[in-house]
A = this chain, B = another copy of it.
């Protein structure tokens, strides 16, 4: 069944020593330095997953022979000093010594990322009627020679007699503690039970989570997690009150293995790549759990359940499921609904038998975060024709109401997250997030996050800037920058025109920050993909965008979106502003509701199974719609009356003032 390698020539082996850690590894000649570093579990970042695009996996070869296939973006001086792109540099013959520069650990929190104030999350079901976790006080008859019933059966009997609960289940980790716990508590205990769980249509008896002395403080907590590709947010929930007590957030540690889901899937193909990605996801969540535990003085075992919402790739990686087929046509996930899991199985730092609910997904690119959004937005229960959208690297959208739900995902690319745009950046300190350009002087006014010196432009800033450039005529409807615009802000570098929104020195900026014509082109492709998605979704069920009664905007990016400016560039449909509603972190909200309430769990399963997934790459009309949307705001201006009016007003204004 396996190849015999007896006749194969043996590959020459090379020893690589990494400094300053001192790790040494023997690898076949031709192994990339990045792969060798990963095998040594060294922290070498690879945002492009080792495709040689980002140049961030820099290391310094201090001795030995290597083969460089690319030196992407490195100066000759650096190359002479031994600096190399680890993913593009391969072990030659003999011993090699490689210095791994120390990384400044990204301690910064994701900016303004949906860190809800305590108790700010609404309770979306009457969870007290149907709670997921419940506490029961018991006074148990101690055993005697006349009644030698086992500890567990004695507990069951007491639950039946004192609370009418006929059956319970228990797993090994809890049974291991049961005997000592009952005796330590002198048979007066409080038990936490997971109340109702089911497999398909079959209900299971309640499940034992914990046994502790009634005399002690009784706490029963849960954690709802939004496992984003970029940021991860965790909410600590008290099962007794149903309230959010605290929250914490951090960047997803997997960023070191790729900025977006595609890069991470590529990374997973490396040796131990999938294990590392899974480990980083678990570690990121564990860091948040620890922070919440410390700040609120609770023990891991007091966390009785978790609910986690993430896109399909994130949940596959968290569970260690092979993600390869998500990326290859025809884009198939291993699972839509995750199996029953407990914290122990995943290595999460909670009660070892805490149930971990993973929100179910619909397809490879419509994940549990979107199911969570449909739930928390309430669109699954409304009569109104609703469009739910979550814009990020992918634009995911769902159209429908309580009777039907149709979803799709369009690959917008990373432009709205600052990727593929020269001065683009994530929404963190120093990002330009708000821009206004004077009609007459064509001079910009902008605001940065935390009012820090400008470092780059984040997604909302890019939308603002593009809209302003369009309205002021600096950029035309095809996305070309007017090289003759009457302002020194427009200049041409290497044949590519750009608009400098911030010059080095302005407000303390260290460098010029500009939007180039290529950047505009990236933004146009991104917004066109999303807008085409809306059109195809509506067309496939025979409705018009104008028929949509409400447009619900969820997701991290959505919170900072200015609807009018997004309409101006043709990213959002030109509908009355009152139809748009911002819902905040719908993924986290959905996880929160799932955590708390059994009826929501039913709804989640129901929604995920009834939602239809429209594969755009199999849809002929998508390409046509996309091409039509590659203009500002769109080829067909009749769909954008408010933009047409604004352009007309400007033309008038110019006419009047010129």
Which of B143, B144, B324 is the one whose CB lies under 8 Å from A179? B324
The smallest C-beta distance from A223 to any residue of chain B, in angstroms, reads: 20
Question: Which residues of the partner chain B approach A171 to less than 8 Å between Cβ atoms?
Answer: 339-340
- Stretch of A224-232, A329-337, A506-514 on the interface side: A329-337
Taking the closest CB of chain B, its distance from the CB of A314, in whole angstroms, is 16
Stretch at the interface among A145-153, A391-399, A420-428, A441-449: A145-153
Chain A 319-355 interface mask (CB, 8 Å, partner B; 1/0) = 1111011000111111110011100010000000000
A245 at the interface (CB under 8 A from B): no
Name A616's closest neighbour in chain B (CB-CB).
Answer: B145
Interface locus among A94-102, A195-203, A284-292, A587-595: A195-203
Is A370 on the interface with B (CB-CB < 8 A)?
A: no
Contact partner of A148 among B149, B153, B201, B332, CB < 8 A?
B332
| CB neighbours of A345 from chain B (8 A) | 172
Nearest CB in chain B: distance from A50 CB, A: 21
Query: Is A363's CB within 8 Å of the partner chain B?
Result: yes
What band does the interface of chain A fall in when counting residues whose beta carbon is under 8 Å from B? 35 or more
A137-168 residues with Cβ-Cβ distance < 8 A to B are 143-154, 167
| A204-B202, A332-B151 known; A321 vs B145 contact (CB < 8 Å) | no
Does A178 sit within 8 A of B, measured CB to CB?
yes
Find chain B residues with CB under 8 A from A151 CB: 325, 332-335
Q: Is the CB of B145 within 8 A of A175?
A: no
CB neighbours (8 Å) of A154 from chain B are 332
Partner of A329, one of B145, B170, B179, B180: B145
Query: Does A176 interact with chain B (Cβ within 8 Å)?
Result: yes
Nearest opposing residue in chain B for A323, CB measure: B179
**Contacting residues, chain B, for A613 (C-beta < 8 A):** 148
Contact of A271 with B by CB under 8 A: no
The residue of chain B having its C-beta at the shortest distance from the C-beta of A216 within the complex is B1
- Establish whether residues B172 and A320, one from each chain, have CB atoms under 8 Å apart when the complex forms: yes
Chain B residue nearest in CB terms to A213 = B1
Copy tally for this chain in the complex stands at: 2
Determine if A617 is an interface residue (Cβ-Cβ < 8 Å).
Answer: yes
- Is A205 close to B, CB under 8 A? yes
Chain B residues with Cβ below 8 Å from A319 are 172, 175-176
Separation in Å of the A225 CB from the closest CB of chain B?
A: 18
User: A280 an interface residue at 8 Å Cβ cutoff?
Assistant: no
A515 in the interface (beta carbon within 8 A) = no
Name A172-200 residues within 8 Å CB distance of B: 172, 175-176, 178-180, 183, 199-200
Interface contact A167-B204, CB-CB below 8 Å? no
Residues of chain B contacted by A332 (CB below 8 angstroms): 143, 148-151, 154, 179
Q: Which of B150, B172, B324, B339 contacts A333 (CB 8 A)?
A: B150
Q: How distant is A610 from chain B, measured CB to nearest CB, in Å? A: 14
Cβ 8 A contact of A321, one of B176, B329, B339: B176
Q: Could you say which of B148, B170, B180, B339 contacts A364, with CB atoms under 8 Å apart? A: B148
- Distance to closest chain B CB from A146 (angstroms): 6
List A residues 360-375 near B (Cβ within 8 Å): 363-364
Is A579 close to B, CB under 8 A?
A: no
Within 8 Å CB of A320, what residues of B? Answer: 172, 176
Interface assignment of A615: CB less than 8 Å from any CB of chain B: yes
A516 to B204, CA, bound (A): 61
Complex Cα distance, B179 from A322, in Å, reads: 7
Cβ contact within 8 Å between B202 and A321? no
The yes or no answer to A80 lying at the interface (CB within 8 A) is no
Which B residues lie within 8 Å of A167 (CB)? Answer: 199-201
The answer on a CB contact under 8 Å between B216 and A205 is no
Q: Which residues of B contact A148 (CB under 8 A)?
A: 330-332, 363-364, 613, 615
Asked if A541 lies at the interface with its beta carbon under 8 angstroms from chain B, I say no
Q: Does A6 contact B (CB under 8 A)?
A: no
Give the shortest distance, in Å, between A185 (CB) and chain B (any CB): 13
Contacts of A150 in B (CB 8 A): 332-336
Question: Which B residue sits closest to A181, measured CB to CB?
Answer: B322
Contacting B at CB under 8 A, from A615-634, are: 615, 617-618
Q: CA of A339 to CA of B150 in the docked complex: distance in angstroms?
A: 14
CA distance in complex: A261, B3 (Å): 48
Q: In the bound complex, how far is the Cα of B330 from the Cα of A507, in angstroms?
A: 80
> Do the beta carbons of A322 and B364 come within 8 Å of each other?
no
Q: Does A69 contact B (CB under 8 A)?
A: no
Q: A148-B330, A334-B150, A618-B146 are in contact. Are A202 and B205 (CB under 8 A)?
A: yes
Residues of the B chain whose Cβ atoms lie less than 8 Å from the Cβ of A339? 169-172, 175
**Set of chain B residues within 8 Å of A321, measured between Cβ atoms:** 175-176, 179
Given contact pairs A151-B335, A325-B151, A339-B172, A330 touches B143 in the complex (Cβ within 8 A): yes
Binding site for B on A (CB under 8 A): 1, 143-154, 167, 169-172, 175-176, 178-180, 183, 199-205, 216, 319-322, 324-325, 329-336, 339-341, 345, 363-364, 613, 615, 617-618
**Could you name 16 residue pairs across A and B whose Cβ atoms are closer than 8 Å?**
A1-B216, A144-B330, A145-B330, A148-B332, A150-B333, A151-B333, A152-B335, A152-B336, A153-B335, A167-B201, A169-B199, A170-B339, A171-B340, A172-B319, A179-B334, A202-B202
Leading 5 A-B pairs by shortest Cβ distance: A145-B618, A145-B330, A179-B322, A150-B336, A179-B334
Beyond the given pairs A167-B199, A170-B339, A200-B205, 7 more chain A to chain B contacts, judged by CB atoms under 8 angstroms and listed by A's residue number, are A146-B615, A148-B615, A167-B200, A169-B339, A178-B335, A179-B332, A202-B202
